[in-house]
Amino acid sequence: MVEDRKLAVLRAIVEDYVATEEPVGSRALVERHGLGVSPATVRNDMAALEEEGFIHQPHTSAGRVPTDKGYRLFVDRLSGVKPMSAAEKRAIATLLDSAVDLDDVVQRSVRLLSNLTHQVAIVQYPTLSRSTVRHIELVQITPSRIMLILILSTGRVEQRLLETPVAPSEHQLADLRTRVNQAAAGERIADASAALGALPETLAQDDRALAQSVVDVLTEAMSDHRSDERVAVGGAANLARFGDSFQTAVRPLLEALEEHVVLLKLIGEVTSGDSVTVRIGHEGPYSELASTSVVAAGYGPPDQALATLGVVGPTRMDYPGSMAAVRAVARYVSRILDEGQQ
Amino acid sequence: MVEDRKLAVLRAIVEDYVATEEPVGSRALVERHGLGVSPATVRNDMAALEEEGFIHQPHTSAGRVPTDKGYRLFVDRLSGVKPMSAAEKRAIATLLDSAVDLDDVVQRSVRLLSNLTHQVAIVQYPTLSRSTVRHIELVQITPSRIMLILILSTGRVEQRLLETPVAPSEHQLADLRTRVNQAAAGERIADASAALGALPETLAQDDRALAQSVVDVLTEAMSDHRSDERVAVGGAANLARFGDSFQTAVRPLLEALEEHVVLLKLIGEVTSGDSVTVRIGHEGPYSELASTSVVAAGYGPPDQALATLGVVGPTRMDYPGSMAAVRAVARYVSRILDEGQQ
DNA sequence: GCTTGGCACTCAAGCACCAGGAGTGCCAGC
DNA sequence: GCTGGCACTCCTGGTGCTTGAGTGCCAAGC
């Protein structure tokens, strides 16, 4: 009973603080939420909450502000996920349905997420590792140059240029094209790499050198981390609303936005496929970003999460709303990828 | 004589203001630069400069700040382009020389520019319009899907997916591949489009439908504005140093950074190939960006500018340094593209 | 005809001071 | 266990003052 009210007070504090960005006092609390008790009672609860580390007083005679621990409790037990409105759902569906290719899906998702949440949105491109090789194409561009094109089941295309010391014959190239496709097509990246690695040995001495360099470039392209690490970012303009704590919070975040490795680490490490992960303030891996929170979710086919998307914002953010938006977008993107895959 | 000193005063004001970010007074001016005259004399000159609109007084009893017109005069007649140090030149050369492909060149250029100038850097991807078609590849992915791959002389690769109602035969596809390449390879985009447009009519009735849809998609890909409009952006973290005038200056700029069309208009419209263009404050096309300046240059093969790169920063910026960096990077990129082309 | 030192003037910035008010903690009573 | 009352804290905003940087102007000097 008492415990329940304490939690209600915490929830009210979080909601008010997120809305007003100002420390919230006992009087405002009972007025704005129908708590049905007097300010003095709320003060007692507040004292207890502060004792337990959920809220914090910037200075004596100021209102209370949630701590990271307070937000954590709020997210875990108090908030739930605010359902999206029908209009929002429609907007998501129509916007994403009209995407023309994988890149477009990612771009649109970023824009969507940042618009829905008014935060900075981050969408990781689907990783290669789980996808399969659909086709490999070798194109002779000049006598001494071959363009290698690697097409994956996710729709991603990687291209590489290969210099050859001697010009291969038309027939030689066609033969090699057939063989690499036989070895790799339909296989997962890892398996394809292995199969390709064994390929040159099976060839006649004359063809071996060319095959080896082609295979080298292909395996390099497959294992290339850059592809795994690609992310799209959007909504940086929303950082302008940070207002206070500018040097301390915005600058590191702006820097992080250009370090895609950092971003991946931020939104990465999602546990399960469907649920939304929230990382609050100091819980994240970077101490410079202690005043920012991340709301992220994996997306991809039901059984396997291909990649992650999410938003980054101040710890003082609308968690229920962000979680709802992130979850909704992740689901729609999953569905679209699934359909495109069939 | 007197006129010369007035210009020297203006130059000193610009340099000091850029360095200190504070209105500069007559006393500080004579002390920091060896002007050899008394503060009172400088004051007279300042009054004249203000009369002519080159400098401005935020309020009585404050120092002077250059106006846009003052910066313009400074850039046109007073500054010259500060030569890059040997170390900087080496850094540019080694960083760009180790780029592996076109995208990499662009990415590295952005990073380089933003690091050199401590501003936001913008690099436009080479436009399609001037480039030529190197090769077109048709790849059967599933019975009902063909992947069209368009390879351009700049190294850019465009891919499109095409759904076909009936599966084309191997032979049919090979024939079409040969024909589209005969028609388009080596041609400029515009010419290639025209040549391709006439292709379907020359074919037998049976092949015409497939050819038509392939041609449609190809011409669409060629004329697709998205390719022309791609830009890379970097160094947004440098905006954090803006400090004052935050809501007025940084927010619009952050928004612009995500609107690539806006960015293109910002750095675009470069006149000649080699020279550096500077657009100061209100001279630019967007009133929200009246407190930012753009330093840009075209790059590409000597005779034809393929695209533009540059930096965006506060009107109060180090013009000589930025101009030097932009020019140097533009030249190196041109050279690299030229070599890659040969 | 410039240049210069002197001088009066202006005005932002910093500081002390004060009053107001929001908010708290605690306590005694219900 | 809740509540009203009360003393206390301390941020916030306003006022008035001083200070100092900087100016404009003028008369004298080179």
Query: How distant is the alpha carbon of residue A323 from its chain centre?
Result: 13
Residue B7 CA to residue B314 CA, distance in Å, equals 22
Closest-CA residue of A relative to B149 is: A149
Distance B221 CA to C22 C1' (A): 64
CA dihedral A169, A173, A178, A184 (to 10 degrees): 150
- CA-to-CA dists, residue A18 to A6, A127, A156, A313, A319, angstroms: 18, 35, 40, 12, 9
| B residues 277..316 contacting A (CB < 8 A) | none
Residue B252 CA to residue B231 CA, distance in Å, equals 18
Burial A26-51 (b: 16+ CB within 10 A, else e): bebbbeebebebebebbbbbbeebee
Closest to B299 measured CA to CA, from B328, B342, B340: B328
Q: Which two tokens stand for residue B146?
A: 């063909």
Residue A40, CB, strand D, below 7 Å: yes
Residue B39, CB, strand D, below 7 Å: yes
Closest-CA residue of B relative to A135 is: B141
Residue B27 CA to residue B47 CA, distance in Å, equals 14
On whether any CB of chain A is under 8 Å from the CB of B159, the answer is: yes
| A residues 230..249 contacting B (CB < 8 A) | 234-237, 239-240, 246-247
Does an H or E element contain B309, and which?
A: strand B307-314
Query: Which position has the token pair 């140097």?
Result: B328
Nearest CA to CA, how far is A108 from chain B (Å)? 13
User: What are the beta bridge partners of residue B141?
Assistant: none
Burial B244-270 (b: 16+ CB within 10 A, else e): eebeebbbbbbbbbbebebbbebbbeb
Does an H or E element contain A139, and which?
A: strand A133-142
- CA-to-CA dists, residue A164 to A118, A136, A177, B151, angstroms: 51, 18, 15, 19
Closest to B173 measured CA to CA, from B144, B153, B194, B193: B144
Closest-CA residue of B relative to A107 is: B258
With the C-alpha atoms ordered B301, B305, B311, B317, is the resulting torsion angle positive or negative?
positive
**A161, A234, A247 ranked by CB distance to B101: nearest:** A161
On whether any CB of chain B is under 8 Å from the CB of A185, the answer is: no
Average pLDDT over every residue of A299-318: 83
Average pLDDT over every residue of A89-101: 86
pLDDT tens digits for range A12-71: 999 999 999 899 999 888 888 888 888 899 999 999 999 999 999 988 888 899 999 999
Per-residue confidence (pLDDT) for residue B342, from 0 to 100? 42
Residue B1 CA neighbour count, 13 Å, CB half: 0
Three-class SS state of A147: strand
Per-residue confidence (pLDDT) for residue B244, from 0 to 100? 60
User: What are the beta bridge partners of residue B161?
Assistant: B147
Residue A294 CA to residue A312 CA, distance in Å, equals 5
pLDDT tens digits for range A132-171: 888 888 888 778 888 888 888 766 778 888 888 888 888 8
Residue B336 CA to residue B324 CA, distance in Å, equals 18
- List phi, psi (to 5°) of A316: -80, 80
Listing DSSP states for B211-270 in one string gives: HHHHHHHHHHHHH-HHHHT-EEEE-GGGGGGG-SSIIIIIHHHHHHHH-HHHHHHHH---
Q: Which two tokens stand for residue A281?
A: 């303030």
- List phi, psi (to 5°) of A123: -130, 125
Three-class SS state of A293: strand
Residue B102 CA to residue B105 CA, distance in Å, equals 5
Query: How distant is the alpha carbon of residue A217 from its chain centre?
Result: 29
Distance B60 CA to C8 C1' (A): 14
Contact by Cβ (8 Å): B266, B294: yes
Share of chain A above pLDDT 90, in %: 35
Residue A228 CA to residue B270 CA, distance in Å, equals 36
Q: Residue A222 class from Cβ within 10 Å (0-12 exposed, 13-18 middle, 19+ buried)?
A: buried
Confidence of residue A220 (pLDDT cuts 50, 70, 90): confident
User: What are the beta bridge partners of residue B307?
Assistant: B299
Contact by Cβ (8 Å): B148, B221: yes
Q: Residue A339 class from Cβ within 10 Å (0-12 exposed, 13-18 middle, 19+ buried)?
A: exposed
Which nucleotides of strand D lie within 7 A of protein CB?
1-5, 8-11, 20-26
Per-residue pLDDT tens listing for chain B (342 residues): 567 899 999 999 999 999 998 999 998 889 888 888 889 999 999 999 999 999 999 988 889 999 999 999 999 988 777 889 999 999 999 998 888 777 888 989 999 999 999 999 999 887 666 678 888 888 887 788 888 888 887 667 788 888 888 888 888 888 998 899 899 888 888 788 888 888 888 888 888 888 999 999 988 888 764 455 688 999 998 888 776 666 677 888 988 988 888 888 888 765 555 688 999 999 988 999 998 999 999 887 766 656 889 999 999 999 999 999 999 999 999 888 777 654
Q: Which two tokens stand for residue A283?
A: 């819980």
On whether any CB of chain A is under 8 Å from the CB of B185, the answer is: no
Q: Which two tokens stand for residue B189?
A: 């985009």
The one-letter amino acid code at B118 reads H
Distance B240 CA to D21 C1' (A): 29
Per-residue confidence (pLDDT) for residue B194, from 0 to 100? 86
Residue B293 CA to residue B290 CA, distance in Å, equals 8
* Packing angle, helices A260-267 and A251-258, rounded to 10: 100
CB count in 10 Å sphere of residue B330: 28
Closest to B147 measured CA to CA, from B156, B155, B158: B158
The one-letter amino acid code at B274 reads D
Q: Does the beta-carbon distance from A251 to B240 stay under 8 Å?
A: yes
Q: Which two tokens stand for residue B191?
A: 């010419």
Average pLDDT over every residue of A238-267: 80
Q: Which two tokens stand for residue B336?
A: 């690299």
Q: Residue A209 class from Cβ within 10 Å (0-12 exposed, 13-18 middle, 19+ buried)?
A: middle
